[in-house]
Amino acid sequence: MNKKFRSIMDYVLITVGALLASFSVACILIPNDAIDYGTAGIGILINKFTGYSLSLCVIAVFIPFLIAGFFFLGRSFMFKALGGSIVYTLGLELFEKIPFELNTEHFLAVAFGGAILGAGLSLILRNGGCIDGSEILANIIVSRLYSKTGRNYSMSPILIGFNVCVYAVVFLKMNRNSALLSLLVYIVATAVIDHFTDHFEAIKQVTIITKDADAIVNDIKEKLGKTCTIMDSRGAIAGENTTLICYISYFELQALREIISRNKGTFSTVSTIDEILR
């Protein structure tokens, strides 16, 4: 029952987050000459250049990344990402038709809108969802680099590079003010996301203390394609244990939680790693 309730709450919170994000984009950012970042930003640019429906442009750009996420990140992730993207798209369609105006300067409106966007995206990310294809792309690239080199990489350089391209188009094809306001959105939103998700783009170290290490190690290898450092340990009460240390990306956390939940009597912690030296 607890697992089922938790799953339901994940979808509820992803829905709330998607509605907050779509409200921010449709009612605050776009009316104040700013755009979202990532693949949503590409969708907004296509809308402005072609006049096609905003919601259709955004979902059309996201679909290829969603399909890629299904193959690389699993079915559970796909369902949550699909649910969040559908709600986000419907929210854009709805909020575009609702008259809303902030009687304040563009700078303040965009900062406020970026904070709401960041809060919505934080809810989505913390509950295993995603509505930005750039994050899926970054995770896939990092995973492929790990499989080729055996090294863990942060998603930050990929995400920054992706958004630099988006804002360069805004700067060259729209105007400088829109580019600067959009950059402000990115800074404020990512600051809020980092606060509530503890730097989701960074490498995560998961420490697992368990009695049955073999089952968890095998699942991690099969489901995530990752390996673990294995150490013997001893608890003051539990006695002999095995401690596993695994380095993964934020989007792999949900799959690892499911692996851990299938193994009772397991204790685990998650921490953020800024850099791995070799």
pLDDT tens digits for 134-181? Answer: 888 888 888 888 888 878 788 888 989 999 999 999 888 888 888 888
Q: Cβ distance 250 to 267 under 8 Å?
A: no
pLDDT tens digits for 26-71? Answer: 999 999 888 888 899 999 999 989 989 999 999 999 999 888 888 8
The Cα 272–Cα 202 span in angstroms is: 7
pLDDT tens digits for 79-137? Answer: 888 899 999 999 999 998 888 877 777 788 899 999 999 999 999 988 888 888 888 88
Instruction: Place 266 in a pLDDT band, splitting at 50, 70 and 90.
Output: confident
Backbone region of residue 84 per phi and psi (left: phi > 0; alpha: psi in -120 to 50; beta: other values): alpha
Closest among 52, 46, 28 to 107, alpha carbons compared: 28
CB atoms within 10 A of CB 184: 17
Q: Cβ distance 33 to 106 under 8 Å?
A: yes
pLDDT at 18 over 90: yes
Q: What is the pLDDT of residue 7?
A: 82
- Element of type H or E holding 234: strand 229-235
The Cα 133–Cα 121 span in angstroms is: 13
Beta partners for residue 239, in sequence order: 235
pTM: 0.84
The label of the residue with tokens 């009687």 reads 103
**Radius of gyration of the CA atoms of the chain, in A:** 20
SS (H, E, C) 83-124: HHHHHHHHHHHHHCCCCCCCCCCHHHHHHHHHHHHHHHHHHH
Instruction: Place 234 in a pLDDT band, splitting at 50, 70 and 90.
Output: confident
CA distances to 7, 27, 73 from 80, in Å: 10, 25, 11
Q: What is the pLDDT of residue 278?
A: 67
Helix axes 156-173, 133-149, angle to 10 degrees: 140
Q: What is the pLDDT of residue 235?
A: 81
Q: Which domains does the chain have, with CATH numbers?
A: 2-197 (no CATH), 203-273 (3.30.70.120)
pLDDT at 5 over 90: no
CB atoms within 10 A of CB 271: 11
Q: Say which residues have a Cβ less than 8 Å from residue 166's Cβ, sequence separation at least 6.
A: 37, 38, 41, 42, 45
pLDDT at 24 over 60: yes
Q: Cβ distance 44 to 30 under 8 Å?
A: yes
